[in-house]
A and B are shown apart, each in its own frame.
Chain A
Amino acid sequence: MAQDEGAQAGRAQDIRRGVLVGLPIMLGYLPIAFSFGVAATKAGLSPIEAVAMSLLMYSGAAQFMAIALIAAGAGFWVMVATLVGMSLRHVLYGPSLLRSAGLDQPPRGAMIWGFGLTDEVFGAGLGAIARGQRLTSGFIAALALVAYAAWVGGTALGALAGAGALAAWPALDAGLGFMLTALFLALLLSILKRAQLPVIAAALAGTALASVALSPTAGIMAGMILGAALGTMMRGQNAG
Chain B
Amino acid sequence: MRVEIFALIALVGACVWALRALPLRMDLARIGAGGALARFFAATGVAAIATLFAASILPEVAAGRTLPALIGSAAVLAVYLPSRSVVLATLAGASAYGAGFALLA
Contacts and interface: CB of A to CB of B under 8 A. Distances in A.
A56 B55 CA distance: 24
A204 B49 contact: no
The secondary-structure label for the interface of chain B is helix
Given A207-B54, A228-B44, A186 B80 contact: yes
Contacts of A185: 53, 73, 76-77, 89, 93
Given A114-B20, A171-B102, A184 B12 contact: no
B11 A224 contact: no
Contacts of A230: 43, 47
B1 A114 contact: no
Interface stretch (A1-9, A86-94, A153-161): A86-94
Nearest to A46: B1
A12 interface: no
Contact of A80 (B2, B12, B23, B44): B12
Contacts of B91: 28, 31-32, 182
Given A85-B48, A240-B39, A186 B89 contact: yes
Contacts of B47: 199-200, 202-203, 223-224, 226-228, 230-231
Interface in B1-55: 1-2, 4-13, 15-17, 19-26, 28, 33-34, 36, 38-55
A76 B3 CA distance: 12
A216 B41 CA distance: 24
Interface of A: 24-25, 27-29, 31-32, 35, 45-46, 48-49, 52-53, 56-59, 61-62, 65-66, 68, 70, 76, 79-80, 82-95, 98, 106, 110-112, 114-117, 119-120, 123, 170-172, 174-176, 178-192, 196, 199-200, 202-204, 206-208, 211, 216, 219-220, 223-224, 226-228, 230-232, 234, 238-240
